[in-house]
A and B are shown apart, each in its own frame.
Chain A
Amino acid sequence: MDQKTYSQLEQKMSPKVPLAGNLIRAFLTGGLICAIGQGIMYFYMYFFDFTEKTAGNPTVATLIFIVMLLTGFGKYKKIAQFGGAGSAVPVTGFGNAMISSAIEHRTEGYVLGVGGNMFKLAGSVIVFGVFAAFVVALIKTILVKFGVVGW
Chain B
Amino acid sequence: MIAYLIRPSDILDKSERAGHGQQAQVRLRNRASPGEQQGLEPGPHSWTKNGGGVLKKMLGAAGIVLILSGCGQGKAEIRVTGEPDADDEQRAERVLDGEERISSAVAVFVKEDLLVGVDVKPLSRFKKAKIEEKLKKKMEEEFPERTVTLSGDQKIYWETEKLEKLRDDKKKLHDQVETIKSLSKEET
Contacts from A to B (Cβ < 8 Å):
15-18, 20-21, 24-25, 45-46, 49-55, 57, 78, 81-82
Contact = CB atoms under 8 A, between A and B. Distances in A.
A78 to B, nearest CB: 5
Contacts of A81: 40-41
B47 A45 contact: no
Nearest to B55: A24
Contacts of A50: 155
A53 B153 contact: yes
B44 A16 contact: yes
17 contacts: A15-B44, A20-B48, A21-B45, A21-B47, A24-B47, A24-B55, A25-B47, A51-B153, A51-B154, A51-B156, A51-B183, A51-B184, A53-B153, A53-B187, A78-B39, A81-B41, A82-B41
Nearest to B133: A150
Contacts of A17: 44
Contacts of A52: 153-155
Contact of A18 (B40, B45, B155, B156): B45
Interface string B30-64: 00000000011110111110000001000000000
Contacts of A53: 153, 186-187
Contacts of B90: none
Given A17-B44, A21-B47, A54-B187, 13 more contacts: A15-B44, A16-B44, A21-B44, A21-B46, A24-B48, A25-B47, A51-B184, A52-B155, A54-B188, A57-B188, A81-B41, A82-B41, A82-B42
A78 B126 CA distance: 34
Contacts of B183: 49, 51
Interface in B99-157: 153-156
A1 B39 CA distance: 39
Nearest to B186: A54
| Chain B contact patch, size range | 20 to 34
A43 to B, nearest CB: 12
A87 to B, nearest CB: 13
A45 B153 CA distance: 10
Nearest to A17: B44
A106 to B, nearest CB: 24
Contacts of B55: 24
A122 to B, nearest CB: 23
A-B complex: 5 closest residue pairs judged by Cβ atoms: A51-B155, A21-B47, A45-B155, A52-B153, A18-B44
Nearest to A150: B133
A55 B153 CA distance: 11
Contacts of A25: 47
A21 B156 contact: no
Contacts of B155: 45, 50-52, 55
Contacts of A21: 44-48
B115 to A, nearest CB: 14
Contacts of B48: 18, 20-21, 24
Nearest to B39: A78
Given A51-B183, A54-B188, A46 B158 contact: yes
